[in-house]
Structure 1
Amino acid sequence: MNLERKITKLPPEPHQAMIERFGREGAYIPGDDRNPWVPFGEHAAIKHFAFDVRTNTAANILWVKGGGRIGTHKHHGVVSAITLEGSWGYYEYDWTARPGDFVYELPGTAHTLYSDDPNGMKAMFWLNGPIDFYDDEGKFEFTADVFWFIDHYTKYCEANGIEIDQNMFI
């Protein structure tokens, strides 16, 4: 009986090229004007800060302009947020987050973010894992994960002649 093991080379992960291109040991990311607000729908924008391709996490500031909302979405990982400016909430809950408030969301939660503050809201989010977005009829639209956020940031920078900050890729 032959007990030798056959070693099989596994195919590369689908995102291996991005991991090799953007993976880092750590970084410092300034929050100055070189870091653009990237439009996210009609009433919002995202200021990206960090993309960790190894753990599928991203850090950003979400700005929802007064009277705006983010479509219904479902988290597959933990999300943490701290409100920086204005106020916001989810239609599905009875609280309103204000500056300094901390929000912790568990995997599996689904909700629709809104801000009816006339000045809108800004909150820093640390996103772990993918987020599925749905339209107003509850039909799946797209999944946002770290690779989606990288694409969102890099395509905007490339289209607008803005230098991509390699320090964001940790």
Structure 2
Amino acid sequence: MTQPSALLSTDLPPISCLPGDALPWLPMSADLPGLAIKYLHINAAEDTLTALLKMPAGGTLPRHRHEGEVFVHTLQGAWRYREYDWVAHAGSTVLEPAGSVHTPETLGAPGEDVITLNVMRGDLVLLDDDGRETARENCRVALLRQRKHARTAPDDAAPFVTR
């Protein structure tokens, strides 16, 4: 198919498309088996991550704080924050303001994964029971995790990383 040349600029890179299974699910933590992330776009220049997060049902993730706002759209399953009364089901969208602190819990029967689409700006700071920082997730950590598992990432995924 030819591209409409009047609408294209030679200064722009081509539009990229990867098949759905081209980007791998990467393990997030040895302490949380089954927790995996699929980076769709890492934009270090704007400190923004877009990723799918897969979590086993019936689990609790570490309490954490976001230094920037986060948008979460639930694709599959159900989850909630221990600190709130609502439950996010498939199709639900959650907007978390910068500075929010919460403890995610996944709902459902064992074997029913929860999958969310997450757009995160800034750092996610993992907290212990006393509110002290134990670790961080951000673009730098995402790039390191992706590099560690580079043997499973396709070469044509490069356009999905902005430095």
The verdict on a shared fold, with TM-score over 0.5 as the criterion, is yes
Q: 1:32 to 1:74 in 2, by over 3 A?
A: same
SS in 2 for 1:47: strand
How far 1:135 moved relative to its partner? 3.1
Unpaired segments ≥5 residues, structure 2: 1-11
Please state if 1:95 is matched with 2:89. no
Identity, % of aligned positions: 25
Partner of 2:95: 104
Contact kept in structure 2, 1:68 and 1:120, CA below 8 Å: no
Please state if 1:150 is matched with 2:143. yes
Partner of 2:7: none
| TM-score, normalisation: structure 1 | 0.77
Provide the aligned length of Structure 1 versus Structure 2.
145
Partner of 1:34: 22
| TM-score, normalisation: structure 2 | 0.80
Contact kept in structure 2, 1:27 and 1:168, CA below 8 Å: no
SS in 1 for 2:61: strand
Partner of 2:119: 126
Unpaired segments ≥5 residues, structure 1: 1-23
The range that moved more, 62-71 or 80-89, is: 62-71
Cα RMSD (Å) of the superposition? 2.0
Partner of 1:77: 68
Residue type of the partner of 1:50? H
Provide the rounded CA distance (Å) in 1 between the counterparts of 2:131 and 2:53: 23
In the TM superposition, 1:30-69 aligns within 5 A as: 30=18, 32-41=20-29, 42=32, 43-69=34-60
Provide the rounded CA distance (Å) in 2 between the counterparts of 1:26 and 1:109: 38
